Structure 1
Amino acid sequence: MGEARRYFEIPGQFALRRGGVLERPVLAYETWGKLDAARDNAVLVFTGMSPSAHAASSAADPRRGWWEEIIGPSRAIDTRRHFVICMNSLGSCFGSTGPASVDPATGEPYRLGFPLLTLEDIAVAGQRLLEHLGIARLHTLVGPSMGGMTALAHAALFPGRARQLVLVSTGARALPYAVALRSLQREMIRRDPAFADGHYDAAAGPITGMRLARKLGMLSYRSAQEWEGRFGRERIAAEQQPVGSFAPEFEVESYLEAHAQKFTGQFDPNSYLYLSRASDLFDLAEHGGSVEAALARLQVERALVIGVETDILFPIHQQRELAAGLEQAGAEVVLAELPSIQGHDAFLVDTERFGAVIGEFLAGGRTTRLRPLLVRMEEQGASRRPDPGRQPWAGLHEGAGGQGGGGPAGEPLLACRGR
């Protein structure tokens, strides 16, 4: 483990939105760049469901981060200009307090005794971290996927604390399709006999349930268009095919299995349940009576909203809703509808498109400057198709997928523990 990860203990009791209290919960975070004298160049990144705080490499931790091509010197979120903070979500398992952490009242892991978590709780924890760092107002608040909903929660709870918003592949609420899918994923995990009502062995646990949940998730994180171009009807090489009438035969089956196997060793199942449910529970309308009323209260000056035409988890109409509401509220808004074929996971793998838009926006590009860039991307969309000759398993480590990636490359499950 590198030395880049830092820890902040929230003093006293931390009350959660749906009831329950955490005693002195810990937040794991990493930073890049320097906070300037005016303390007004800070960028906070809220993560998707499964990443750690290791969004980018650094001298202290040279391992590749989950948003490596976006954060760094001369990159879209330029660490020469900005002080960038990425926080591991409360309830996760990469250093922040979560179900795998020890409950000080019992001396045992919380497991399912952990209080019900909401994205608002993660947002409030993030605000406590900002106060600890002496940051009164953010230059920009960034959130992809679940992190985008967390960013909206933060802006609703603390209006005016961020000058700009960058919302990536997210929405004001989870749609019924997403809620239903995550409900099935949680059931797969809980019905695995090895789950043991949350009291599973830390070295093993509900591996089958996690594998199946991950496979189901992958179907929503990518697009049918990509599957067709990437795999077609290609079979696994005969000498590599498992034995059995119903063993995997197609390359797409092999790809899903490889992704699922990789994920089961990186993420705590109880954390998966809690963060998955928190994603379902969030509804921005609860912070104003309607989505439009809630957006009107955020008090942001500028906003970039990015959607992907092939995203089925957060369809493009959800980004249009956010952009329209923010513009009506008086913010200068850029809506970028990108033609990426990678679906919801595009923000992890199509970083050329995402980086260009985010970089131009953070550099001060106004809507009139960004429009030609977006038009060029639309024109290029038709020519950017999957390479039929590309190995089907290529990109297995492009991003961990699934609402924003996974733990740092090579970080084992034993490292996925709260404090």
Structure 2
Amino acid sequence: MREFIPPATRFVDLPDGFPMKRGGTLHGARIGYQTYGRPSPARDVVLILTGLSADAHPASHADDPKPGWWESMLGPGKPIDTDRWYVICVNSLGSCKGSTGPASIDPRTGEPYRLGFPDIAIEDIADAAAHTVRALGFERLACVIGASMGGMSALSLLARHGIARNHINISGAVHSSPFSIAIRSLQREAVRCDPHWNQGRYDAERYPRHGMLLARKLGMATYRSAQEWESRFGRARLTRERPAEDDPFGPEFEVEGYLDFHARRFLEGFDPNSYLYLSRSIDRFDLGESCGGTAEAALAGLRLDRALVMGVETDILFPVRQQRQIAEGLAAGGTDVRFLPMESPQGHDAFLVDTDRFGPPIAKFLSSV
């Protein structure tokens, strides 16, 4: 087990005895974050909350020139313009990419937490992010941006802490759909059924490689759309004429090779137990339940100035009807909302790659904040 921490990551300590929503406390825990731009009285603060597997490195940094996962969106002159904004990106609690999680050392035992880590809730991620922002000296944000799981974390942050005036929610939801719960359940089962998972007690020599590969491939099949798979690959074959003799049912089509290549890259950057914990936190989150009522009442109670809610028509994991629900709920509470259902062919991952569609409305919204 090991953590995967980008070089430019900085840390904020959580309060000792940090309480977790579903029981248990954390001692000696920390949150990893990165910042972009320079803080000044004339420069307001934007917070970015990430999806399931992202770290706190959305863009290249003076301390880490490696391109980040949102490189095209964040930086000087880009849609999230660091010449104007001071940007904080937080690594989710439990992620083990700078923030304490199952692969971290439990100070009580000197050993990794593994499955001894408390259950993680989206609310815990939100509380840890709020503490980080305040520990850095900011009581109020100009805008919080959340995509995918980060959209859930952002709604929870706003509901629990009222820390921002404006919000951009991208492919988020107030709770998971049955289909997405089913997919994540199969992903977790793939990891848990790998004998090397061993109830979370794996190591570098005995690592649940096969389970993680299957889980990631299944996830990737839902992150993009059937339309994109068709246009990118069709029925094109891999260059070899037939499967290897020792693997007669191995990859034959280019789309299979694509899934295999990207799943293997994923293996090198995410802890399997963190994957299980965070995946389940997405399934369990319900904004209405968290706020003691309905999702509509919770959204109306956020009382934001303005919001931009974006979804993708081809997204099967967080379907666009869920973003419409967010927009309508916020509008019912008096928030000035712009709802944009995008026609990108790239499904749930469109916000990561389709900058031509996502960049201009994000830039326009932030320029008017």
What range is the shorter-chain TM-score in? over 0.9
1:262 aligns with 2:265: yes
C-alpha offsets along residues 102-161 of structure 1, whole Å, 9 cap, x if unaligned? 0011110000000000010000000111110111110000000000000000011012x2
1:350 aligns with 2:354: yes
245, 252, 255: which one aligns with 2:255: 252
Return the offset for 1:11: 2.7
C-alpha offsets along residues 144-202 of structure 1, whole Å, 9 cap, x if unaligned? 0000000000011012x201010001111100111111011101101100001100013
Separation of aligned partners in 1, 2:38 and 2:133: 14
Separation of aligned partners in 1, 2:150 and 2:30: 19
1:235 aligns with 2:243: no
Q: Which amino acid in 2 is paired with 1:50?
A: S
Match of 1:156 in 2: 159
Would you say the 8 A contact 2:6–2:97 is kept in 1?
A: no
Separation of aligned partners in 2, 1:204 and 1:192: 10
Match of 2:123 in 1: 120
Change (3 A) 1:18 1:197: same
Q: How does 1:284-363 map to 2 (within 5 A)?
A: 284-286=287-289, 287-363=291-367
Match of 2:286 in 1: 283
**Secondary structure at the residue paired with 1:193?**
coil
1:62 aligns with 2:65: yes
Q: How does 1:4-403 map to 2 (within 5 A)?
A: 4-37=8-41, 41-159=44-162, 161-202=163-204, 204-238=206-240, 242-243=244-245, 244-286=247-289, 287-364=291-368
Return the offset for 1:245: 2.3
**Secondary structure at the residue paired with 1:356?**
helix
**Secondary structure at the residue paired with 2:64?**
coil
C-alpha offsets along residues 311-370 of structure 1, whole Å, 9 cap, x if unaligned? 0001111111111111111011111111110100101110121111100110118xxxxx
Separation of aligned partners in 2, 1:265 and 1:3: 16
Separation of aligned partners in 2, 1:75 and 1:224: 30
**Secondary structure at the residue paired with 2:88?**
strand
Separation of aligned partners in 1, 2:287 and 2:16: 28
Separation of aligned partners in 1, 2:201 and 2:344: 41
Separation of aligned partners in 2, 1:169 and 1:328: 20
TM-score of the superposition, structure 2-length normalised? 0.96
Identical counterparts, % of pairs: 54
Cα RMSD (Å):
1.4
Would you say the 8 A contact 2:46–2:142 is kept in 1?
A: yes
Return the offset for 1:36: 2.1
Separation of aligned partners in 2, 1:154 and 1:210: 30
Would you say the 8 A contact 2:225–2:346 is kept in 1?
A: yes
Separation of aligned partners in 2, 1:241 and 1:355: 42
Return the offset for 1:13: 1.0
Would you say the 8 A contact 1:70–1:77 is kept in 2?
A: yes
Return the offset for 1:238: 2.2
Separation of aligned partners in 1, 2:198 and 2:105: 18
Separation of aligned partners in 2, 1:240 and 1:109: 44
Would you say the 8 A contact 2:28–2:107 is kept in 1?
A: no
Structure 1 segments, 4+ long, off by >6 Å, are none
How many residue pairs get aligned? The number is 363
Structure 1 gaps of 5+ residues are: 366-419
Separation of aligned partners in 2, 1:258 and 1:344: 19
Change (3 A) 1:312 1:233: same
Change (3 A) 1:310 1:66: same
Separation of aligned partners in 1, 2:74 and 2:292: 33
Return the offset for 1:298: 1.0
Q: Which amino acid in 2 is paired with 1:111?
A: R
Q: Which amino acid in 2 is paired with 1:238?
A: R
Change (3 A) 1:305 1:107: same
Structure 2 gaps of 5+ residues are: none
**Secondary structure at the residue paired with 1:299?**
coil
TM-score of the superposition, structure 1-length normalised? 0.84
More relative contact order in 1 or in 2 (CA 8 Å, sep 6+)? 1
Return the offset for 1:299: 1.9
Would you say the 8 A contact 1:2–1:60 is kept in 2?
A: no
Return the offset for 1:24: 2.4
Match of 1:410 in 2: none
Would you say the 8 A contact 2:238–2:253 is kept in 1?
A: yes
Q: Which amino acid in 2 is paired with 1:10?
A: L
